[in-house]
Structure 1
Amino acid sequence: MKTTYIKTQKIEEIFNDLQTNFGGNLNVSAAEFKLDLNGQFGSGDIRGISLKNGMSYIEFDVDLHDDVVLNISATKNLPIYFAYCAAGSLGHSFGENGKQNILKKYQTGILTCKRAEENNLTFSKDQRTKISLIVVNTTKSENKEGFNLNKKLRNTFFEDNTIHSSIYIGACNLKIGEKIKELNTIRYTGIVRRLMIESIVHMVLAMEIQQREDDMVNAENQTGTLTISEMDTIKEISEFVSNYPENDYTLKMLSRKSGLSNSKLQEGFKLLHNRTVRDFIIHERIKKSEKLIRTTDLNISQVVYSIGFTSRSYFSKIFKQKYNCSPKFYKENQNSIAVTA
């Protein structure tokens, strides 16, 4: 087992320590850090960025050759760690001899700890592990808005200003994983990219806090009867529909393709997308229609039939419900923008 000690909250120093211990190639671009492992200790990459108001985001997507412990010391800034496991699992203990808790696939975890106490994060060897960490230093902020956020988080998770260590592991949540995936699809650069990263990280933070509140109100597991394997299948079916929304789907056909019952399929789609299977299909068709109208020369009727609809009037109705304008107006507006540009 290999142990790496992290005694700082500064993102640059963290990545320098990680590179010293794991090797690999460290790239820095516009204050974003990416460490590509070169195979000596494993494969994959570690990404990170420091955001405003004492907040940072680190993502591990690694497959290591040995069990690895990250020993992270808490600082005077009283950080709260918001974790999400998208693949594999992650062990945690307070100190080397503390009780070991396991964060499993699709679960959220929230950690608070005393000053100078150690968080031990254990990565298992020969297993792809994808973990996202949002670190919030609750005593640090750069402006009044940030101070209010940090103060509220400190008051929420350090009850009555009592500094104590705690770990919360929540129910499975597929929506958080889908939101985190958006970070890896950002193609913009500069200030636009940074604003989008901050927006998504804040949204993930809000979703993790809401997950905790939901679990406190409702002790019943949010995933109902679905197993991890069944949730994986729901994700695969969702991606298939998103890639080919124009196909003539039925609940029976998707149930047969997935191997899940109609009820489990519906349960999974409501959990992941907050929509029924039928509503999700329509949603994906409308998304594709918007892209076709914006990026192709197809007329509205051609768009309607290319995405699997048979009624132009019905298409226009639901398009307007989503985009607050008719498809014709949207297309004309796009053309006018193109001419102006």
Structure 2
Amino acid sequence: MITIFVKSVGIKQIIDEINKGLKGTIKNEFGEQTLHFDNKIGKGSIRIIGFDWGISLLDYNVLFYEDVKMVFEISGNSPIEFLFISEGNLKYSPNGKFVDLERFQNVILSNKTNAENSFLFPANELIKVNFIQIIKQEYRKKANNNINSLQDSILSIFRMDNPDVAFQHLGNYNIRIADYIKDLNACSETGMIKSLTIEGQLNLILAMQLLEHRNYENRTVLPDSLSKSDLKQIHKLADYIIDNISSPLSIEVLSRESGLSPKRLQLGFQLLYNKSVNEYVRKLKLELARDLLKDFDMNISEIVYAIGYKSRSYFSKRFFEYYGILPTEYRSQLKNKFKANIID
């Protein structure tokens, strides 16, 4: 494992200290510091941008070849960190014991005074994560900051009422925030236009993360959010689909089985499997069909029935679209290979 220590909150110092461990190159353009690296440690980029009132963006698009632990040793009051992971998963430790931070989960953190935060990036996994950091004492100087409208739990963090108590919000899973993150990273402008665009997107993302926190505290789930219990239902539903692959598996049927609305069902499958419900079901059917084609005792019509298709021609069309070969040709190749092995 590689361990990288960061002891500063200054933009240039943070990127310089990270680069001591990653040994890449740093580019400074229009107020952005971007570290690029491609070596035996891994490859990717880390970008940091500072804005007024103590707000900064630190985003990672990285793939490490071994575990990398980044330890942020902050003297004085720790910033509030709004995290959102678009790809992969992270581990976080404010005290030596790691907890999982998951893809699409809304995460808000603030450690106690003079403490360290550790983030563990697992090896051989693409990680895309955004950190929006707010230095509390700076943000409170902003006119019309309206922090008094926040929930008591996070308001006390902004006001630093309990500097020796850590704050940790591991909230619901939100697809809409992921869309805002895509827009943030897709900005192709330069100079002032780019800075204004990114700052505007940051404000939207912060608003969404604070809104999710408020609704989480009030036990209200946003239309584009999913709770852990929702995800458990969808995991169970995936097993149900496998066990009932020959039966009708429409969204309406699956919605009744899971107790989730069709919209929440679609959100969950998009979040967990990056597919719509129908795409996921079709993928399973075709993968099962491919395996059944290896059983020479079953004819293709029997396989079509076993996976719940009514038309052999429709099955052949879908199989060809997915694998680039007709099922009859695939089986023929398997038989020829089997005969060749017997002769050898």
Report the TM-score, using the length of structure 2 for normalisation.
Answer: 0.63
Across the two proteins, how many residue pairs are aligned to each other?
Answer: 247
- CA separation of 1:157 and 1:269: change in aligned 2, threshold 3 A: farther
* Partner residue in 1 for 2:333: none
* Partner residue in 1 for 2:16: 16
* Partner residue in 2 for 1:216: 217
Gaps in structure 2 of 5+ consecutive residues? 236-248, 271-275, 277-344
Match of 1:107 among 101, 105, 108: 105
* Partner residue in 1 for 2:230: 225
* Partner residue in 2 for 1:126: 124
Q: Is the 8 A contact 1:69 1:121 kept in 2?
A: yes
Tell me the secondary structure at the aligned position of residue 161 of structure 1: coil
- CA separation of 1:227 and 1:179: change in aligned 2, threshold 3 A: farther
Question: Shift in Å at residue 227 of structure 1?
Answer: 6.6
Question: Shift in Å at residue 37 of structure 1?
Answer: 1.5
* Partner residue in 2 for 1:139: 137
For the pair 1:161 / 2:158, whether they are aligned, the reply is no
Question: Shift in Å at residue 78 of structure 1?
Answer: 3.6
Question: Shift in Å at residue 198 of structure 1?
Answer: 0.6
- Following superposition of structure 1 onto structure 2, how do residues 1-341 of structure 1 map, counting pairs within 5 Å? 1-95=1-95, 97=96, 99-141=97-139, 144-145=142-143, 148=145, 155-157=155-157, 161-163=161-163, 164-218=165-219, 222-223=226-227, 225-226=230-231, 261=254, 266-268=263-265
In 2: Cα distance, 1:72 partner to 1:28 partner: 22
- CA separation of 1:117 and 1:150: change in aligned 2, threshold 3 A: farther
Q: Is the 8 A contact 2:94 2:117 kept in 1?
A: yes
Q: Is the 8 A contact 1:80 1:136 kept in 2?
A: yes
Q: Is the 8 A contact 2:136 2:159 kept in 1?
A: no
Tell me the secondary structure at the aligned position of residue 66 of structure 2: coil
In 2: Cα distance, 1:106 partner to 1:227 partner: 15
In 2: Cα distance, 1:197 partner to 1:90 partner: 24
What is the percent sequence identity of the aligned residues? 23
Question: Shift in Å at residue 268 of structure 1?
Answer: 4.8
Tell me the secondary structure at the aligned position of residue 37 of structure 1: strand
Q: Is the 8 A contact 1:66 1:126 kept in 2?
A: yes
Report the TM-score, using the length of structure 1 for normalisation.
Answer: 0.64
Q: Which moved more, 1:131-140 or 1:34-43?
A: 34-43
Q: Is the 8 A contact 2:156 2:162 kept in 1?
A: no
Matched to 1:173, the amino acid is: N
Matched to 2:230, the amino acid is: T
Gaps in structure 1 of 5+ consecutive residues? 231-254, 278-341
In 2: Cα distance, 1:125 partner to 1:160 partner: 36
